[in-house]
Amino acid sequence: MVYLTFLLAAFASLIACQPGMKEIYEIPDGYRGWVEIRFSRPGCPPLPRSAEGIVLSIPGSGVLCTSSPAQLTMHSEAYYYVGSGRRVLLEHSSHPATNLKKMIWGGDFYGGSSGRVTPDELDRRRKEPDYESERDRLLIFVGTRSEYARRVSEERVHSEEGR
């Protein structure tokens, strides 16, 4: 009986988690630098879905705008270089055995309209000058560890110069 109770509890917890759809990032072959995905933008197209999951096709500018909301649930991700009819998987694991080949860094989400926000708070945020550019966006860096470290260091220096 205890075994059956355990199995039912485990099954119930799996159902309650309901992970999100896999996200497939298609990045132009050879692209290096920041990628920004702007979610929940009414004037932009929704993200397409394939048999693999949600497809995020990053343009050469590195900035993707979509009317689709960001997935805030647990989900898996795959990053690919795409071009010339081929798709090459990019390493994004933090496992020590693959860290030297890692090409995806950061993954910082900046919210603004997601989650539980009161109508008054949302109205207040919308009046802020940077609301549209700052809300509901994801930043990732594509490149080697040294390229990422160099870019972050350069940006830190520039932000300190502006003070």
pLDDT digits (tens, 9 = 90+) for 67-106: 999 887 888 999 999 999 999 999 886 655 556 688 998 8
What residues are paired with 49 via a beta bridge?
A: 54
For residues 137 and 49, which has the higher predicted lDDT (pLDDT)?
A: 49
Query: ∠86-90-91 over CA atoms, to 5°?
Result: 155
Query: ∠124-125-126 over CA atoms, to 5°?
Result: 90
The region, left, alpha or beta by phi > 0 then psi within -120 to 50, assigned to residue 150 is: alpha
Q: What does the pLDDT average to over 14-22?
A: 62
**Residue 17: band (very low, low, confident or very high) from pLDDT cuts 50, 70, 90:** very low
- The predicted pLDDT at position 68 comes to 93
- The predicted pLDDT at position 75 comes to 85
pTM, whole model, 2 decimals? 0.72
H or E element that contains 86: strand 86-90
Q: What does the pLDDT average to over 127-137?
A: 62
CA distances in angstroms from 140 to 69, 105, 111, 132, 162, listed in the order given: 17, 6, 15, 19, 23
